[in-house]
Amino acid sequence: MARKQPPLRVIPLGGLDGIGKNMTAFEYGDDMVLVDAGLMFPDDEQPGIDLVLPDYTHVLENEGKLRGIIITHGHEDHTGALPYLLMDLTKKVPIYSSKLTLGFIEGKLAEHKLVAPKFREVSDGSHLNLGAFNIDFFSMTHSIPAALGVFMRCPAGSVMHTGDFKLDQTPIDGVTPNYQAINKFASTGVDLLLSDSTNATTPGFTPSEAAVGPQLRHIIKNAPGRVIVASFSSHIHRLQQVCDASVAVGRKVIVTGRSMVTNTKVARELGCLHIGQDDIIDAFDKTDIPDDKIVILCTGSQGEPLSALSRMANGAHKSLTITRDDTVIISATPVPGNEKSVGGVINALSKIGCTIYDKSNTLVHVSGHGSQEELKLMLAMAKPRNFMPVHGEAVHLRAHAQLARAMGIGEGHIFIADNGDTLEMCGGAVRWGEPVDSGVVYVDGLSITDADPFVFRDRKKLASDGIVTCVVTVSRRRTKIGEIEIASRGVSFAVADEMNSEAQDAVRTQLEKLQKTGGPSVEQLRKGARNALSNYLWNATRTRPMVIPIVMEV
């Protein structure tokens, strides 16, 4: 009797609940391939958290099957979780990507003091076999060079993964999407398409990256003083256009911000960013160059508090400050959740009085993701039998699914998944499978921790109402209440003088009541002190600071 063929399991572990932390596992029998390992930055509901990672427990539980990790391009939302994943894996797994992406990853691993695993460079047209998977790579255009799509086949069927893309006909580096390859794979049959959904709610076509260049050059040429350009440090095409415009009008480019310095160095060494050695300068090496001969490339387009732009705007940068004679270009769109931070930086710059350009008043930014017409073109070229939108929030996934319906894909062949959901493919047919454990983990300083709602609740409470401590001394047999001291931090009122005395009386009264019940425990005294002080503060101030009771036996 012939052995039953296992299904191909497609398991999105991240990227389907927001813009970021993209990670998808493909599992067939005893073989598994992971595509992307990204992170997401925290929002206001996650105070104190540094980074948000996908929960890759399923990968660790099945690492014996893992044959390789494929990274489609070098953005943080596709590479940022790699250091943490590699630290948790017990074996070295090869990483496959383009030369530039591997260069960025190598720098990232060095920051974490990790020895780089086996790097395997691939490019447009590359083919490799990983266990049961036959994998082909094809070029795509995005806001970073060397972005790749992936087409993989196994005995259960075929899958095309676009990665992040837009269909740019005039890319800065001249590398257009490989339409021939996409149509070739379509002719052999694409059983399942996974396609970028980030701009699925945006009508029309996304403008070419080349459209930004003339505007940048016009601003840089006519600015009376220095020009400060804030952009993603990995947006090499944008950085190239800034460099080209600067050199063309006789300005030197000064680079500041750790990731900007690192990425421009890597991109230049790999031949992906072209500017002469004499035309690019580190901020700390700046000589006495006239202001009207300077362009500053910096980080901070997302309003990050410690970024170069934020520090310059607040007068905290070690070597650069912004004056009213300067011109600032914010050449990026705020990632969802960062709008408030970006607005804060713009307000700080406005107080200085400098000239500010962003996408709201000038064409200094275009998206790296395809809009609706490009997404429909991808569906038309790939002709998939089944479709799963990926890389986006729920609204984007559903909008992309609606485009697929309009393109003639049947309702039963469109799968709107959540992280941890599983699709199973047999003979090219796709159905829902058993989900796996999923979620997020947080990077909190040096700790990697699961989501703890109590920690977030306490941090929000501290941020909104402050903290009040109450230290009570009692006799060892807890028959006598001694001194009661109350102190506060971060509250909008002073727990002192008359209020302090009233608060102490409220606590003492409650504890004396507990004494009359007979030998209260230390824990009962703590609880009584907390409740008494919390109730008093609410009645007196209508706020509920966090109350920390401390009972000391003397």
Per-domain residue ranges for the chain?
8-204+367-444, 209-357, 453-553
Catalytic residue among 17, 77, 191, 196: 196
Residue 26 pLDDT exceeds 80: yes
First-last CA distance in the chain: 80
State how far the Cα of 352 lies from the Cα of 350, in Å rounded to an integer: 5
* Average model confidence (pLDDT) across the chain: 89
**Tokens 């700080």 — which residue?**
348
Residue 142 pLDDT exceeds 90: yes
Topology of domain 209-357 in CATH is: Rossmann fold (3.40.50)
Assess whether 325 carries a catalytic annotation: no
pLDDT for 29: 95
Catalytic residue among 365, 369, 396, 400: 369
Residue 133's nearest CA partner among 39, 254, 1, 25 is 25
More confident residue, 303 or 253: 253
Residue 213's nearest CA partner among 381, 50, 362 is 362
Assess whether 369 carries a catalytic annotation: yes
Give the model's confidence band at 286: pLDDT under 50 very low, under 70 low, under 90 confident, else very high: low
Residue 448 pLDDT exceeds 70: no
β-strand 423-426 against 294-298: which pairing, if any? unpaired
pTM of this prediction? 0.83
State how far the Cα of 486 lies from the Cα of 180, in Å rounded to an integer: 74
Residue 1 pLDDT exceeds 50: no
- Among 3.60.15.10, 3.50.50.60, 3.30.720.110, 3.30.470.20, what is the CATH number of 8-204+367-444? 3.60.15.10
Residue 451 pLDDT exceeds 70: no
Phi, psi of 464 (to 5 degrees): -90, -35
CATH architecture for the domain at 453-553? Roll (3.10)
Return all residues near 398 (Cβ < 8 A) that are at least 6 apart. Answer: 389, 416
pLDDT for 16: 93
pLDDT for 493: 65
Q: What is the mean pLDDT of residues 226-248?
A: 94
